[in-house]
């Protein structure tokens, strides 16, 4: 099977070939050509075009081509679900989706800058995604300092120093404004754009990303938003008759599997088990 896309790949055009080779077709061949001849070359070479507009394998709404391939070929692998968020965030400049997205973008941009041969770039990128897959499969919950008692002790002391410093300093005025912006979005359409929010608050995006956790429960922007979404989901599960699929959509999750994974990460239970427990403890909710 041949696949073809535009030249000079960075995120999706490296991630998708890796995904296809690993889960769809180990013998797949990938071709990079100038954007304006992708479709004509696809017909000539009988290749499948991807990651360009107006073809099947492309972006849909706010999801990447990587997301579409997962759905198209029904790839059910928890590690791939983790990687999909990282790729989506890196490929769409929404680094709040996953804290690793900014790092993936930096590595991908640097590789593209250093390697001018697209096929050598693909070969090197495959190694990067193999490493990312191993991390997502085996090391997702592991922290860098957890295996070093001395460094861990220094880390704890440093964190305590930061917390003490936070409590002793005055909370900036933008914190209250940002909480209101986030709550407004949580209650409406769930479209979070850190760059746009930074502009609204007249703050530098890098400063906001760096300072955010100091005033928002030691969480980064993406984790804090996910926490609020789960809190809203819990309220809907406990006090409404909406289906879990409807609740996933209403709380801003791209699909129910993503919702289930994040819900379990925060509560220790999947949404259906949580609802059953609530109904069992409160018989009045069974009729809702």
Q: How confident is the model at residue 206 (pLDDT cuts 50, 70, 90)?
A: confident
Structure tokens at 90: 């890196």
For residue 176, what pLDDT is reported? 82
For residue 82, what pLDDT is reported? 95
Residue 126's Cβ-count burial label (10 Å; 0-12, 13-18, 19+) is middle
* Same structural domain, 30 and 112: yes
Write the pLDDT tens digit of every residue in 8-20.
Answer: 999 999 999 999 9
Our CA angle for 74, 80, 83, nearest 5°, is 135
Q: Of 108, 139, 170, which residue constitutes the final position of a domain? A: 139
On whether residue 260 sits in a domain, the answer given is: yes
For residue 287, what pLDDT is reported? 46
* Same structural domain, 61 and 184: no
* Same structural domain, 135 and 194: no
Q: In whole angstroms, what is the distance from residue 31 CA to residue 108 CA?
A: 18
Q: Of 172, 202, 218, which residue constitutes the final position of a domain? A: 218
- The torsion defined by the Cα of 5, 10, 13 and 15, in degrees rounded to 10, comes to 170
* Same structural domain, 81 and 167: no
Contacts of 73 (CB under 8 A, 6+ apart): 23, 24
- What is the sign of the dihedral through the CA atoms of 55, 257, 259 and 131? negative
Across 46-55, 112-121, 195-204, least confident range = 195-204
On whether residue 50 sits in a domain, the answer given is: yes
Give φ, ψ of 218 to 5 degrees. Answer: 60, 30
For residue 162, what pLDDT is reported? 59
* Same structural domain, 198 and 238: no
Report yes or no: 94 and 88 within 8 Å, Cβ to Cβ. yes
For residue 134, what pLDDT is reported? 94
Cα distances (angstroms) measured from residue 277 to each of 253, 263, 269, 274, 280? 23, 15, 10, 5, 5
Give φ, ψ of 6 to 5 degrees. Answer: -75, 155
Q: How many domains does the chain have?
A: 3
Structure tokens at 220: 């980064």
* Same structural domain, 37 and 65: yes
* Same structural domain, 167 and 135: no
On whether residue 151 sits in a domain, the answer given is: no
On whether residue 9 sits in a domain, the answer given is: yes
Q: How confident is the model at residue 71 (pLDDT cuts 50, 70, 90)?
A: very high
Write the pLDDT tens digit of every residue in 236-288.
Answer: 888 888 898 888 888 877 677 888 888 888 888 888 988 888 877 766 555 44
* Same structural domain, 128 and 233: no
Write the pLDDT tens digit of every residue in 152-198.
Answer: 565 666 666 555 555 555 778 878 877 777 766 665 555 566 777 77
On whether residue 152 sits in a domain, the answer given is: no
Maximum mean pLDDT: which of 19-23, 88-92, 137-141, 162-166: 19-23
pLDDT at 213 over 90: no
Question: What residues make up the domain containing 130?
Answer: 2-139
Q: Which residues pair with 50 in a beta bridge?
A: 57
């Amino acid at each position: 099977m041949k696949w073809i896309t535009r030249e000079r790949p960075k995120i999706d055009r490296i991630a998708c070939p890796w995904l296809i080779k690993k889960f769809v077709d180990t013998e797949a061949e990938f071709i990079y050509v100038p954007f304006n001849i992708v479709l004509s070359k696809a017909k000539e070479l009988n290749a499948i075009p991807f990651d360009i507009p107006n073809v099947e394998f492309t972006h849909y709404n706010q999801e990447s081509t990587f997301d579409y391939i997962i759905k198209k070929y029904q790839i059910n692998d928890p590690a791939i679900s983790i990687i999909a968020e990282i790729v989506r965030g890196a490929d769409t400049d929404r680094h709040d989706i996953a804290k690793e997205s900014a790092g993936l973008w930096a590595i991908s941009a640097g590789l593209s800058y250093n390697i001018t041969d697209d096929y050598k770039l693909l070969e090197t990128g495959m190694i990067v995604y193999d490493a990312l897959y191993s991390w997502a499969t085996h090391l997702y919950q592991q922290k860098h300092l957890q295996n070093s008692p001395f460094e861990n002790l220094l880390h704890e002391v440093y964190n305590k120093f930061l917390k003490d410093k936070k409590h002793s300093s005055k909370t900036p005025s933008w914190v209250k404004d940002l909480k209101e912006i986030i709550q407004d979005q949580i209650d409406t359409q769930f479209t979070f754009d850190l760059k746009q929010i930074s502009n609204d608050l007249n703050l530098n995006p890098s400063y906001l990303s760096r300072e955010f956790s100091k005033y928002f429960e030691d969480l980064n922007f993406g984790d804090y938003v996910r926490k609020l979404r789960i809190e809203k989901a819990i309220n809907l599960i406990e006090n409404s008759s909406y289906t879990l699929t409807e609740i996933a959509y209403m709380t801003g999750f791209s699909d129910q599997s993503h919702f289930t994974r994040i819900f379990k990460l925060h509560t220790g239970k999947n949404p259906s088990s949580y609802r059953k427990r609530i109904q069992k403890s409160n018989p009045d909710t069974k009729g809702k």
